[in-house]
Amino acid sequence: MRNFLATVIAWSIIGCSSPSLSDYQQTTPQLNLEEFFNGELTAYGMVLDRGGKLTRRFRADLVASWEADKGVIDEVFYFDDGEQSTRVWRLTKTAPNQYQGEAGDVIGIATGETSGSALYWQYDMTINVDGTDYQVTLDDWMYLLDDKRLFNKTDILKFGFKVGEIVLFIEKKGDS
C-alpha cells in the first residue's frame, strides 16, 4: 500500500510539472519578437477566475516598433464592461533570445526568453479588482502559430497560487 501511495504521489507531481522552454526548442516557426511585434496588431482576449469562469472579455489595439535592440509596444484595451486602459511596454533585447521589459503597471522588470516558437515571460503587476489593488505575478506563455498569429496564455498567481488566467489571441494587421 505504501509503494502504491508513493507511486500515485510521484505521478501526481510529475503530471503537474510546468512546461519548460526546452520543450519548444525544435518547434517552428521561430518566434522573433522584433519581427512579430512590429507594426499594427489586434488582440482578442478573456479573463477567467481561478475556477475557469469567464469574468471579462476584451479587445486590444497594439502598435509596435523596434530600433536596434529596443522595442516599444503601445497597447489600448477595450473591455466588455466599457473600461478602457492603456499600457506601454518598453522592451530591451539583452542577449540572443532574452528580453527585459518595463511598463507603468509592472513592478520591477519583466524578464523573458524565447525558444523555438515559444516565449516565456514573467513579471509582477498591480491589478485592481472591485476597487482594491493587488500585487500578482503573471506567468506568461506565448506560442507563435504562424507569421501573423500568436496565442498567449497567462496564469495570474498570488502567493504562488493560481487565482486567474488570461487567454489571448494576437493577429498582425495587413502587411505589417
3-state secondary structure of 169: strand
pTM of the model: 0.87
Please tell me the distance from the alpha carbon of residue 110 to that of residue 174, in angstroms, as a whole number: 29
Closest among 126, 124, 65, 60 to 91, alpha carbons compared: 65
pLDDT at 1: 60
pLDDT in tens, 73-109: 999 999 999 999 999 999 999 999 999 999 999 999 9
What domains does the chain contain, in order, with CATH numbers? Answer: 31-172 (2.40.128.20)
Please, what is the Cα angle at 46 between 37 and 174, to 5 degrees?
A: 35
3-state secondary structure of 96: coil
Closest among 75, 79, 101, 100 to 88, alpha carbons compared: 75
Please tell me the distance from the alpha carbon of residue 27 to that of residue 115, in angstroms, as a whole number: 8
pLDDT in tens, 12-52: 444 456 789 899 999 999 999 999 999 999 999 999 999 99
**For cell 527585459, what's the residue?**
100
Please tell me the distance from the alpha carbon of residue 166 to that of residue 56, in angstroms, as a whole number: 9
Element (H, E) at 55: strand 54-67
